[in-house]
Amino acid sequence: METKDINEQIKWAQINKDVLSSLVNPRPAYWVAVGVCLLLLSCAVVAEIYQYNTGIGTADLDWPQMWGLYIATFIFWIGMSHSGTLLSAILHIIHADWRKPIYRFAEAMTTFSLMTAGLFPVIHLGRLWNMYWVLPYASDRGAWPNFRSPLVWDAFAIFTYLTSSALFLFIGMIPDLAICRDNAKGWRKKLYTFLSMGWEGTDRQWRNFRKTYLLMACFLIPLAVSVHSIVSSDFAMSIMPGWHVTTFPPYFVAGALYSGCAAIITLFIILRYFFRFEEYMTIPILEKTCKLTFVIAMAWTYLLFAEFVTAWYGDDIPSKEVLIDKFTGHYAPYFITMVFFGSVMPFTLAFEKLRRHIPTMFVVSLLLNVGMWLERWMIVSPTLSFSYQPVAWSVLWPSIVQWAIVFGSFGWFGLLFLVFVKIFPSVSMYEVKEMVYHRRRAIEGDQAVAMHRRSSDPQPATEMPGA
């Protein structure tokens, strides 16, 4: 059974060769995936053109269902963006070196998820020519937007998060871009030369690089938490039944981490297959990611339960009615599926045999994310359907235009991601070299100690002194 995170005997030159070959030589399935993403994206483009020409009514967005799938999917993509940078930063600070082969694509996932999320408020506007209205700027009348509104906070927070995570991804990639520069030809050489910005690997560069990366990691952890807390404020600061809940910020952050971790598992398995990364994206690393996902899933389940209890034992009757309706009304099949996928399905991650079975983990990770997407839909729609005024109660099934754009967003994300991993190394070469180097030294150190120890030497202490 494979137990090592990485084979520490692998040569540095071999790491360069394996990762660089992934940039030119993927399996044919890679191109199939690109085709599927293009197809999904073209569906969304057609739907968006239709919505643009005909009007937002084609999406069946009408009072009281003003937000529909667009805002639910916006929250989903914001959430998806969390695990990449946040986990990379946390694991970097605590020196968990098993992150090294997988953090690059996880950070890329963050950046592209945010870019996908950013499309939805614009699409939801309907009037695309007014898309700049979502930015906080002074209007023609010199009036600034209402800074008390969490929607304005969203614009600030998402812009900050996108900028910071894109820079975190880019800065962390510079040493690898230099490796690519040294081995590339043609347009790739020009691109990598430009992006590597003259990196030579001097001690001065490494010294500054290490501090920069650490400081950025320190900034990104509270930033990521604040971003999804702010997104949760869009709901929690309203007085709508089912939304006005104090546990929403941690609940949203946990849900975001959960869906991000599940997405990391999915992309891990896909990249491992596409680029033959079996040496780097190993089963023990997959196992560790699965365990982390399981822990986060349990935290999310607890917070979900806390949300139910808050509504059930509170004296807000409309909130209780929304909760009852979620379990028994029109949305019950989706809500119960969400609870099953989100809270029951993760128990598959608790079993070692299943964690080590790649096809099972692939299916489970996809279903976990289906559950997380349903969760966002179940936050948005039931409350809008059954608000305070019975006269405004209505259940609207999203139109095909909404569905096409939602599915297309997965194509857009997938396409960005697949293009990225084809142009830039999805495994961090220099960090894997560090990982191999440290592990080799640790093993050699242990061996040296064992070889030099004689029976007459003092034995290592097995108990605490004075215990």
Residue 119's contacts (CB-CB under 8 Å, 6 or more residues apart) are: 409, 412
Task: Find, among 102, 414, 417, the residue nearest to 272 by Cα.
Answer: 102
Phi, psi of 62 (to 5 degrees): -150, 155
Contact assessment for residue 258 and residue 302, using Cβ atoms and an 8 Å cutoff = no
CA dihedral 392, 397, 399, 405 (to 10 degrees): 110
Minimum CB separation of residue 437 from another protein in Å reads 6
Tell the burial category of 77 from Cβ atoms under 10 Å away from its Cβ (0-12, 13-18, 19+): buried
Among 58, 205, 310, 343, binds another protein (CB under 8 A): 205
Among 33, 173, 223, 372, binds another protein (CB under 8 A): 223
Q: Which two tokens stand for residue 37?
A: 């993403």
The verdict on 272 binding another protein (CB under 8 A) reads: no
Tell the burial category of 191 from Cβ atoms under 10 Å away from its Cβ (0-12, 13-18, 19+): middle
Task: Find, among 135, 158, 160, the residue nearest to 145 by Cα.
Answer: 135
User: Among positive and negative, which fits the CA dihedral 83, 88, 89, 95?
Assistant: positive
Other C-beta atoms lying within 10 Å of the C-beta of residue 356: 16
The verdict on 197 binding another protein (CB under 8 A) reads: yes
The verdict on 112 binding another protein (CB under 8 A) reads: no
Binding segment (CB under 8 A) for another protein, from list 154-162, 260-268, 293-301, 351-359 = 154-162
The verdict on 219 binding another protein (CB under 8 A) reads: yes
The verdict on 11 binding another protein (CB under 8 A) reads: yes
Among 77, 103, 153, 258, binds another protein (CB under 8 A): 153
Q: What is the H or E stretch that residue 142 is in?
A: none
The verdict on 164 binding another protein (CB under 8 A) reads: yes
Q: In which residue are the tokens 């998402």 written?
A: 158
The verdict on 179 binding another protein (CB under 8 A) reads: yes
The verdict on 438 binding another protein (CB under 8 A) reads: yes
Binding segment (CB under 8 A) for another protein, from list 126-134, 218-226, 272-280, 329-337 = 218-226
Residues of this chain, 226-245, that bind another protein according to CB under 8 A? 226, 230
Other C-beta atoms lying within 10 Å of the C-beta of residue 187: 8
Q: Which two tokens stand for residue 335?
A: 């809500």
Among 7, 160, 310, 343, binds another protein (CB under 8 A): 160
Q: Give CA–CA dist 243/65, Å, rounded.
A: 15
Comparison of 146 and 459: residue with beta carbon closer to another protein:
146
Comparison of 144 and 393: residue with beta carbon closer to another protein:
144
Binding segment (CB under 8 A) for another protein, from list 26-34, 110-118, 179-187, 399-407 = 179-187
The verdict on 191 binding another protein (CB under 8 A) reads: no
Binding segment (CB under 8 A) for another protein, from list 122-130, 206-214, 254-262, 302-310 = 206-214
Binding segment (CB under 8 A) for another protein, from list 86-94, 151-159, 244-252, 278-286 = 151-159
Comparison of 143 and 467: residue with beta carbon closer to another protein:
143
Contact assessment for residue 104 and residue 173, using Cβ atoms and an 8 Å cutoff = yes
Among 204, 353, 452, 454, binds another protein (CB under 8 A): 204
Phi, psi of 460 (to 5 degrees): -60, 145
Q: How many residues bind another protein (CB under 8 A)?
A: 56
Give one DSSP letter per residue of 278-296, joined into a string.
TTTS-HHHHHHHHHHHHHH
The verdict on 98 binding another protein (CB under 8 A) reads: no
Comparison of 63 and 147: residue with beta carbon closer to another protein:
147
DSSP-derived 3-state class of residue 62: strand
Tell me which residues touch another protein (CB under 8 A).
Answer: 11-13, 16, 138, 142-144, 147-148, 152-153, 156-157, 159-160, 163-164, 167-168, 171, 174-175, 178-179, 182-183, 197-212, 215-216, 219-220, 222-223, 226, 230, 430, 433-434, 437-438
